[in-house]
Structure formats: C-alpha cells, structure tokens
C-alpha cells in the first residue's frame, strides 16, 4: 500500500496489521502534491493499492482531481480516495465521486464520524464499481455492521440536513482560526477539513502544555514546529485564540 506522508496514521498500521507493506511517498514543502511528482512516485513504487486522503489528515491539504487522475493512470492497482472530511471542503468543489464512472479500479470512502458527528455509530460507506463492491463482499469480515447500526446510519442519512447543520458554523470558525493565526506569528496551512495545522511553533510540546494548562486541548502530531487545532464552537475558538495569544512561543 502506498500513500503520501504525512497522512492518516491508521493507513500504515492497518496495512502492516493485514500483512502488507506500507510505502510512504513524499509531498511538497507545504504538504501539497503535484500531479507529475505523484505519478512518478507511484509508477516507481508499483503498489497494489494507493490510498489518497482527500482532504488530507493531519495536514488539511486539498487534493486536486488532476492528481488523483495522474495517480490512477500511473498504476494498475486500486486507488482508494478517503473523503472522511469531504463535507468541510468548499461546496463548489468536485468530489472524487464524480470520477468513478469509467474508473473500475477506484473507490471513494466516507465516514459518519466527522461531519455527521456520529463517530459512536462506527459506520462509514464506500462507492465503487459494482465488481469492486462484489469483491469486497467476498473478503469482508464475517460479522457485518449490526442491524441497529445500519438502521441508525439510514436514519442519519434521511436527516442529513439536520446532522450536517453545524458544518457551516465549523467552517466559519476554521477560517477564522486560519485568518487570525498569522497575526499571532504562526503560519496556517490551507485546510479543507475541520482542523487547521499551523507551523512556526518553536517548541510544540511546550506550547501544547501551556494551552492545556489554560484549559485548551489541541493536538501535537509530531510534525516539527507544528500543532493542529480542531475548530469548535465560536466560544471554543475564541478560547483557543485567546489562550494562544497569551502563550509566547512563535519562532
């Protein structure tokens, strides 16, 4: 399995846990991927499966469709596009779902854990060519989602508008974080998710702890000079920005 690092930490773990080998490709300095480099890296690695996280966790980075197309053309393997955070992307943007027709080696997955705020249900879903879905039915674990989980997911989909009502508010707060961080001396990366990765942190561990002591919990994901904050309510976002402003650690 091949993916562009840094990306969702479960990909390498699940790959190894299922007896596969994880091959990490490289991103540009701002965590973006360009089509030519992506295609060259995939052609070189010749993976059975390419995992593309769009937008990417933990960086928030959008993944242009031309990159997905170039990767698809560069491999004879499966290309899985993980759109776990897609609902937070700009509304006018095209999802990889629009690329599925005529691409029988592509699958697009989503989850109810993020925008639906329904992580407790443990339910996600996937779209792909009928032959891929049939093959998945053969290899999936014998104990499927419970009938109750499926009923809950169907009900959530029927009430998608209500379930997704907070997405717009979260996007406003995410953009407010990105717009405010430079004034505090930090550099936010472009985000199409519900979190913002920012650099310019001299000592991420120390800043993380200082925020924690002020009652604000964010993520130190181990990227040098970076921290990641998830957008919350307006009050929570204000609390984060005020706390960060009171911590003197921009490099």
Ligand X SMILES: Cc1ncc(COP(=O)(O)O)c(C=O)c1O
**Size, binding site for ligand X by CB under 6 A:** 9
- Give the residue, chosen from 65, 95, 105, 113, that forms a contact with ligand X under the rule CB under 6 A: 113
Give the contact letters, 4-23, x = binds to ligand X (CB under 6 A), - = no: ----x---------------
Q: Closest separation between CB of residue 53 and ligand X, Å?
A: 5
Of the candidate residues 35, 40, 105, 124, the single one contacting ligand X (CB under 6 A): 124
Stretch that binds ligand X, among 111-119, 150-158, 166-174, 178-186 (CB under 6 A): 111-119
CB closer to ligand X out of 20 and 124: 124
- 87 contributes a contact to ligand X by CB under 6 A: no
**Minimal distance, residue 229 CB to ligand X, in Å:** 15
- 57 in contact with ligand X (CB under 6 A): yes
Q: Does 75 contact ligand X by CB under 6 A?
A: no
User: Given candidates 63, 79, 84, 243, which one binds ligand X under the rule CB under 6 A?
Assistant: 84
CA gap 171, 152 in Å, rounded? 26
Minimum distance from residue 111 beta carbon to ligand X (Å):
3
Residue with smaller CB distance to ligand X, 189 or 241: 189
The binding site for ligand X (CB under 6 A) comprises 8, 53, 57, 82, 84, 111, 113, 119, 124
């Amino acid at each position: 399995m091949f993916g562009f690092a840094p990306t969702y930490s479960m990909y390498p773990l699940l790959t190894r846990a299922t007896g596969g080998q994880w091959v990490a490709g490289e991103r540009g300095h701002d965590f973006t991927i360009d089509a030519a480099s992506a295609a060259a890296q995939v052609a070189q690695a010749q993976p059975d499966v390419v995992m593309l996280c769009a937008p990417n966790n933990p960086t928030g980075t959008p993944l242009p469709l031309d990159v997905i197309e170039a990767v698809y053309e560069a491999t004879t393997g499966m290309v899985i596009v993980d759109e776990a955070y897609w609902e937070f992307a700009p509304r006018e943007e095209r999802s990889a779902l629009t690329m599925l027709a005529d691409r029988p080696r592509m699958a697009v997955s989503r989850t109810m854990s993020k925008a639906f705020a329904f992580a407790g249900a443990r339910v996600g879903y996937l779209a792909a060519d009928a032959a891929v879905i049939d093959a998945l039915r053969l290899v999936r674990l014998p104990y499927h989602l419970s009938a109750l989980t499926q009923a809950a997911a169907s009900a959530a989909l029927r009430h998608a508008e209500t379930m997704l009502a907070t997405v717009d508010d979260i996007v406003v707060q995410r953009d407010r974080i990105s717009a405010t961080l430079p004034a505090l001396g930090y550099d936010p990366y472009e985000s199409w998710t519900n979190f913002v990765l920012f650099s310019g942190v001299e000592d991420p561990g120390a800043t993380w702890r200082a925020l924690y002591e002020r009652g604000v919990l964010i993520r130190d994901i181990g990227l040098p000079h970076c921290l990641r904050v998830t957008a919350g309510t307006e009050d929570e976002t204000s609390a984060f920005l005020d706390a960060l402003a009171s911590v003197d650690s921009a490099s």
